[in-house]
Amino acid sequence: MGALRVLSPVVKTLFPLLVVLVLIMPGRASATAQASDRLIYKGEPVSIFSNPLESFFDASHPRPYLPAGSTACWRGYVATWKMENDYLYLVKIQNCTSEKEEIPLSMIFPDRTKPVRADWFSGTLRIPQGKMLRYVHMGYGSIFEQDVFLAIEKGRLVSEQVVDNTKTRLPSGNERAIDELIKLKEWEDNTRKNHE
């Protein structure tokens, strides 16, 4: 602890929190902003800060081995989706290596044809828009001027909400980072549980 004496009071205060975070995170955890999936929405390609394919993987549908390629793509792939007639479809999956090779959808969905209707997914898709207001170097924690939230139930669009982040209190970078760490821990716990 002699080294702590020369650190600033702020670092001394945050040091225990950093130690706890490092200890609770498994070895694969990465604290890096993530490559986003893509969505064709209203005819335009947009980034989404959501990963609908992740909810498909469970004990009945094991996750195939997909090498991460970098800490900016812990899931090992980038998926392309489209909204068509108010339904969400998976169009393609590419690996995160430098070659960005396409992964055959049949590897995950052997009994379905392309595009695959995302009937397993119920949740929210987040579409960030506009100028970045706050960069958070973890997960999808960065904040943009506006977010469009698409509520999906069993693959079907049920509502759309637009949030203007310029008119609300922005959470601190630390608050966003902690939220993203919690999500990452949940993802790793679920992945580990599904492989046991």
Residue-level pLDDT at 15: 44
Record the pTM. Answer: 0.71
Mean pLDDT, each 10-residue run in order, the chain (196 residues): 44 47 40 83 94 92 79 86 97 84 92 95 96 79 90 98 86 68 68 62
Q: Where are the domains of the chain?
A: 33-194
Q: Enumerate residues 6+ apart whose C-beta is below 8 A from 140.
A: 33, 34, 36, 49, 50, 126, 180
Residue-level pLDDT at 193: 65
* Phi, psi angle pair for 169, to nearest 5°: -70, 125
Residue-level pLDDT at 72: 77
Residue type, 42: K
Count of other CB atoms within 10 angstroms of residue 19 = 10
